[in-house]
Structure 1
Amino acid sequence: MKMNERKQRILEALILDYIATGDPVGSRTIAKKYDLGVSSATIRNEMADLEELGFLKQPYTSAGRIPSQLGYRYYVDCLMEKQPLPSSLKNYIRATLLERVSETETLIQVISQLLSQLTNYTALVSTPMFTKNRLEHIQLLPLGSNKFVLVVILDQGHVEHCTFELPFSLGETELRHVSFVLNKYLRGLSLGEWQDGVLHVIKHELARHEHFYQQLMKLIEKILAWEYNSKVYLGGTVNILEQPEFSDVKKVKSLLALLEEEKILQEVLASGSDVGITVKIGKENYYEAMEHCSLITATYKLKGKVIGTFGVLGPTRMEYAKVISIVEFLTMVLTEKLCKVEGE
């Protein structure tokens, strides 16, 4: 038995109707609402074939059909048409991200809220992870008589700075010398590549400044170790409770418990592809608590390198076309915004 064009059109119509209503769909409904040019009896026979093929299932006797996981997968991969975003929505997204936010972590929080607001599902957004970052440049600048700024530029273009105080003052010549020594031995290295020999040489060359060497190295180490402190921000967790699929207390309880586990959320987001959009449906998700969910994820980049992921979690009865269009557009705008935030 093959999936011919008529079966495809019936499957698409049934899935779209079920996504919109949440009610099992019968042959009469499809015949009345969708101009497929065939009778209700023909549609009923085709639906029986689709059920035999595994694309549909019947939740209970005498009910209409609903899509199976295989049905949703076939729809997403073969039948779904892209849903263009209205210009007004694009302008709203750009205005929200490009005009109001100037710090990376705040930007990520705004993304999680915006994504949940636009989709009515739950959003997951990871803060940037600079896993393989290496030092590109270090500079020390005077801020006052005994206040200083440490500026660290990483090879992916990310810039971090922090202020610190000393119980004495240092001139610009001394600050330039310290910066020169640090750049000479640390440029191009990640935190994991620091060797005791290199640190010993640096300490020797900065022997005159031993009084603040340890403090300075700890600040640099903290910046490089920022990658290990990546967070996942959630937006619209309450949206899960509004989905009829999660009216079962046990089902929603296990899912909410999973959303409280930071490490698991990072694994969930990291499981997608580094290229394009990833759609995982039902049991394609690793965790049992997500077997009634679909997860759509995309990565965002800086200087062409993946530094984070965001996603939308909802029921398998998800508005796939709408969510994918929003996620694709957000990916593009977020990349633009990060370039501005990081000063590219």
Structure 2
Amino acid sequence: MLNDRKRKILQIIIEDYIETAEPVGSRTIARKHNLGLSPATIRNEMSDLELLGYLEQPHTSAGRVPSAQAYRLYVDSMVDSMKEEPGVLTENDMALINSWYKERIRNMDDIFKSTAKILSRMTQNVSLVLANKKSTARFKYLKFLPLSDTQAIMCIVTDDGAMDNGLIDIPAGMSSAELDYLSGKMSNLLEGRRLTEITGDLLQEVYSAVSEDEVMLASLKKAISNIAAKNSEQKVFLGGAKQLLNQPEFQDVSRVKNLLGILEEEKVVKDILNAGDGSGLKVTIGSENKFTGIKDCSMVQATYRLNGQIVGTMAVLGPTRMEYRKVIAVMNYLHKYLETILKDPK
């Protein structure tokens, strides 16, 4: 166990290093912080912290930097304290987030895309957002647009403002008025259902109430099934990949290329975000990350829900020298904000 003095010195070193990205020395601590301790005393405490595995000495520098073990202690202590006193963003930060969403949201994809962008902008790190679209998309209405005597384009609009389409076969000579009548009747019967709930049996029951053409029915089943499958896929949104270049830790071009290569692989990003247990906020530091390419990074990850269902996951990926307090405060605020706008994306 660390005594109070060692804890205080370790906290100072971590926070100074997060701010400056420069190794921290005993003279710097004595000069900047009123601890009532001499540089020699601080240096002895730092030596003990190094022996205990909390500090490391980079190259021949006289200063020290925090280890992954130190960041873990720091983050765990911070998370516990934030349960009592949650981190609060400035009014300017909250106003920026609010205006960012209001200016950009037109449909559900815009919500997730905006979340990725504002999260990276606020934290100065890479953001990753995984959307479970199937949790929210509900059928609103459909329209048929005649393409030829035997084919039409079916357009389906969902309650989040998104639109999908598919090509269907229609009875030869079917008029636009008949197509409009059919689309109106089907829309009334299907409105409010999740796309994944519109099964072949349900579609046959609804369709049979207004038409008896088996060729068109089979074509409708296939088209709607394809659209439902497309809308049930998880979708990844990234933000701030260029932010990596601003971090001293990523001045090594090969290191940046490796990380950017991982971020370009959508399946890998999905695996990374799905590796969490969905139980709320989670911080993984350095080698705690299961994926080789990010073992020298930290990731703060959180799931967000709507009506008890996981709608998606958002995460911030960056160097272990991450401004954890700011990142966690931003994610907590976004979590509450998303709960509101996901209920009514309009």
| TM norm. shorter chain > 0.5 | yes
Is residue 243 of structure 2 the alignment partner of residue 233 of structure 1? no
Q: Is 257-266 or 270-279 further displaced after alignment?
A: 270-279
* Alignment of structure 1 residues 1-344 onto 2, 5 Å: 2-79=1-78, 82=82, 83-130=87-134, 150=156, 162=164, 168-169=174-175, 170=178, 190=196, 198=201, 205=208, 208-227=212-231, 229-341=233-345
Q: After superposition, what is the alpha-carbon deviation per residue over 1:233-286, rounded to whole angstroms, capped at 9, x for unaligned?
A: 221111112211122233222112111111000111122242322111111111
Shift of 1:135: 9.9
CA 79–47 in structure 1, closer or farther in 2 if over 3 Å, else same = farther
CA 152–33 in structure 1, closer or farther in 2 if over 3 Å, else same = closer
For residues 136 and 245 of structure 2, the distance between their equivalents in structure 1, rounded to whole angstroms, comes to: 43
CA 328–201 in structure 1, closer or farther in 2 if over 3 Å, else same = closer
CA 275–204 in structure 1, closer or farther in 2 if over 3 Å, else same = closer
Q: 1:333 is matched by which residue type in structure 2?
A: Y
1:277 and 1:296 in contact (8 A); partners too: yes
Shift of 1:203: 10
Query: What number of residue pairs does the alignment pair up?
Result: 328
Shift of 1:24: 0.8
Q: After superposition, what is the alpha-carbon deviation per residue over 1:53-80, rounded to whole angstroms, capped at 9, x for unaligned?
A: 1111111245211100010000000147
The runs of 5 or more residues in structure 2 that have no matched partner are: 147-151
For residues 249 and 336 of structure 1, the distance between their equivalents in structure 2, rounded to whole angstroms, comes to: 41
2:26 and 2:39 in contact (8 A); partners too: yes
For residues 315 and 260 of structure 1, the distance between their equivalents in structure 2, rounded to whole angstroms, comes to: 18
The runs of 5 or more residues in structure 1 that have no matched partner are: none
For residues 254 and 140 of structure 1, the distance between their equivalents in structure 2, rounded to whole angstroms, comes to: 45
Shift of 1:228: 5.0
For residues 317 and 218 of structure 1, the distance between their equivalents in structure 2, rounded to whole angstroms, comes to: 51
Q: 2:329 is matched by which residue type in structure 1?
A: S
CA 252–216 in structure 1, closer or farther in 2 if over 3 Å, else same = same
Structure 1 vs Structure 2: percent identity of aligned residues? 38
CA 255–142 in structure 1, closer or farther in 2 if over 3 Å, else same = closer
CA 328–210 in structure 1, closer or farther in 2 if over 3 Å, else same = same
Q: After superposition, what is the alpha-carbon deviation per residue over 1:204-250, rounded to whole angstroms, capped at 9, x for unaligned?
A: 95771323212321232123213553331221111112211122233
TM-score (norm 2): 0.81
CA 248–152 in structure 1, closer or farther in 2 if over 3 Å, else same = closer
CA 159–105 in structure 1, closer or farther in 2 if over 3 Å, else same = closer
TM-score (norm 1): 0.81
For residues 294 and 328 of structure 1, the distance between their equivalents in structure 2, rounded to whole angstroms, comes to: 17
CA 202–16 in structure 1, closer or farther in 2 if over 3 Å, else same = same
Shift of 1:301: 2.1
Tell me the C-alpha RMSD between the 2 structures.
3.4
Partner secondary structure for residue 282 of structure 2: strand
